């Protein structure tokens, strides 16, 4: 099969990569459409200590084989990316996505979705309704990640909330939080991206305007969601949250934070919340209902044969979602 690999020399398309074989309890899935995520781009920069293998974890596919589970064959699915061992204390407590021995599709120890085929445990699969087009369904995984915030904290209508970052995930997070009725403002630097939210009635503000930024800092938020995908975002997010407030972090990136002032978090009693993967069923439902807008986020679509070019395009400033189609 064809597969887009991350190698020591960078990304490379292999046209004769071994087709994975499902073991009992797994499914072989033919990839129909996959999305390039910020995490994929960070892996190119060295995130996860040098992952090597097939990239990609956002996908829509069709099950072509499922030993012992033939009822899944032919079904169109999305799939959760984390695979726990199933036996450790964390897995036994329902925390399999935090399993110390976990694999993660296209990220840690498990070949991903930028290929003709992939394998995943049946337990990771979610069937997709017929009315949900592939171009919408490919956003199930990132939308689930946005919904995870609501699993972790209760957002009230009387709270002021800032979403810092107008990239792929930031636009989804803002749409999810807008449904809570909170006093939400989405912050970013790109007018065209913020316009996607403004068209849905979501308040936006430009952080590169000094006067606007001064106003925002004078009115710190109860909850700030940092989703810039950059180490620089943490410092501004920290300044935007009120004492006693919550700072939720969605960014993953290679490297660490410079000048990380832990003491200020203690003095101001800030709750620091890490937030990662989330629930698929509500993400599928919201997309099927058209409750979240995703089509304007698609900036380009490439065949798998041009996967290296797709990654380069996705890494350009101002680009939102790039899709890869085997």
Domains of the chain with bracketed CATH:
3-139+294-325 (3.90.180.10), 143-274 (3.40.50.720)
- Contact indicator for 298, 321 with CB cutoff of 8 Å: yes
Distance CA 285, CA 130 (A): 12
How do the pLDDT tens digits run along the chain, 326 residues long? 999 999 999 999 999 999 999 999 999 999 999 999 999 999 998 876 778 999 999 999 999 999 999 999 999 999 999 998 888 999 999 888 889 888 899 999 999 999 999 999 999 999 999 999 999 999 999 999 999 999 999 999 999 999 999 999 999 999 999 999 999 999 999 999 999 999 999 999 999 999 999 999 999 999 999 999 877 888 899 999 999 999 999 987 766 777 778 888 898 899 999 998 999 999 999 999 999 999 999 999 999 999 999 999 999 998 999 999 99
Distances (CA, A) of 210 to 183, 189, 217: 22, 12, 10
Report the SS3 class of residue 50: helix
Angle between helices 168-178 and 140-152 (to 10 degrees): 50
Report the SS3 class of residue 95: coil
* Residue 79: predicted pLDDT: 98
- Contact indicator for 30, 59 with CB cutoff of 8 Å: no
- Contact indicator for 323, 302 with CB cutoff of 8 Å: yes
pTM (two decimals): 0.93
Q: Is the dihedral of CA 136, 138, 141, 142 positive or negative?
A: negative
Match 């044969």 to its residue by tokens. Answer: 305
Match 């695979």 to its residue by tokens. Answer: 83
Distance CA 276, CA 281 (A): 16
Distance CA 231, CA 267 (A): 22
């Amino acid at each position: 099969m064809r597969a887009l690999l991350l190698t020591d020399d960078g990304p490379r398309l292999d046209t004769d990569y071994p087709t994975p074989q499902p073991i009992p309890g797994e499914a072989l899935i033919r990839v129909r459409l996959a999305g390039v995520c910020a995490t994929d781009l960070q892996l190119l920069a060295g995130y996860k200590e040098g992952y090597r293998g097939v990239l990609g974890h956002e996908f829509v596919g069709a099950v072509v084989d499922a030993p012992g589970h033939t009822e899944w064959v032919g079904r169109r699915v999305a799939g959760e990316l984390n695979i726990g061992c199933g036996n450790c204390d964390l897995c036994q407590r329902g925390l399999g996505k935090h399993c110390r021995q976990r694999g993660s599709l296209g990220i840690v120890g498990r070949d991903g979705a930028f290929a003709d085929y992939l394998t995943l445990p049946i337990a990771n699969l979610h069937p997709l309704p017929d009315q949900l087009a592939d171009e919408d369904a490919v956003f199930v995984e990132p939308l689930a990640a946005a919904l995870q915030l609501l699993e972790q904290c209760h957002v009230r209508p009387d709270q002021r909330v800032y979403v810092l970052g107008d990239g792929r995930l930031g636009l989804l997070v803002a749409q999810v939080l807008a449904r809570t009725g909170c006093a939400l403002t989405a912050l970013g630097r790109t007018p065209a991206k913020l316009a996607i939210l403004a068209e849905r009635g979501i308040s936006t503000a430009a952080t590169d305007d000094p006067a606007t930024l001064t106003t925002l800092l004078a009115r710190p938020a109860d909850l700030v969601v940092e989703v810039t995908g950059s180490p620089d975002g943490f410092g501004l997010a920290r300044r935007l949250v009120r004492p006693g407030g919550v700072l939720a972090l969605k960014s993953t990136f290679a490297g660490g934070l410079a000048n990380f002032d832990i003491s200020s978090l203690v003095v101001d009693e800030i709750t620091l919340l890490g937030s990662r993967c989330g629930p698929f069923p509500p993400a599928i439902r919201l997309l099927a209902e058209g409750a979240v807008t995703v089509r304007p986020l698609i900036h380009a679509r490439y065949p798998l044969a041009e996967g290296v070019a797709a990654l380069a395009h996705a890494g350009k400033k101002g680009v939102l979602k790039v899709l890869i189609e085997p």
